[in-house]
Amino acid sequence: MALTLDDGRPALLVMQPDGPRAFLDRCPHQGSRMLTEDETGDPYMDATGGLILCHRHQACFEPHHGTCISGPCVGQRLTALDVERVHNDASPVLLLLWEAPGSGGELREK
């Protein structure tokens, strides 16, 4: 799922069995966005739905930590965002996303 952070940077949210993961939409190969303008559906996932795909460079990233497993930037990682799930009685679950230096994209519950 495509998102835009409060500061205008594009990001992506990937649902995993143990909770959501979020990353900046920036391929470590050349620093460009991973989408092309004509992507539709769940544009970040590959055809199997199991890997995050950079549509510009065909790099594939595992969705838990964002590590590139094939393509021009093998071993490099997407920039992970921390995710906090906030539960309250007034609204559905709220997800808070932020970039923390050195973070591995932690998931927190409140």
72-101 tens-digit pLDDT = 999 999 998 888 766 666 666 555 555 666
pLDDT of residue 87: 66
Number of domains comprising the chain? 1
CA distance 23 to 79: 5
Higher pLDDT, 103 or 99: 99
53-74 tens-digit pLDDT = 998 889 999 998 899 999 999 9
Q: Can you give the CATH number for the domain in which 65 is found?
A: 2.102.10.10
Domain span holding position 19: 2-109
CA distance 56 to 93: 33
Give every CB contact of residue 60 below 8 A, 6+ residues apart in sequence. Answer: 46, 51, 52, 53, 54, 68, 69, 70, 71
With 0.75 as the threshold, say if the pTM is over it. Answer: yes
pLDDT of residue 52: 93
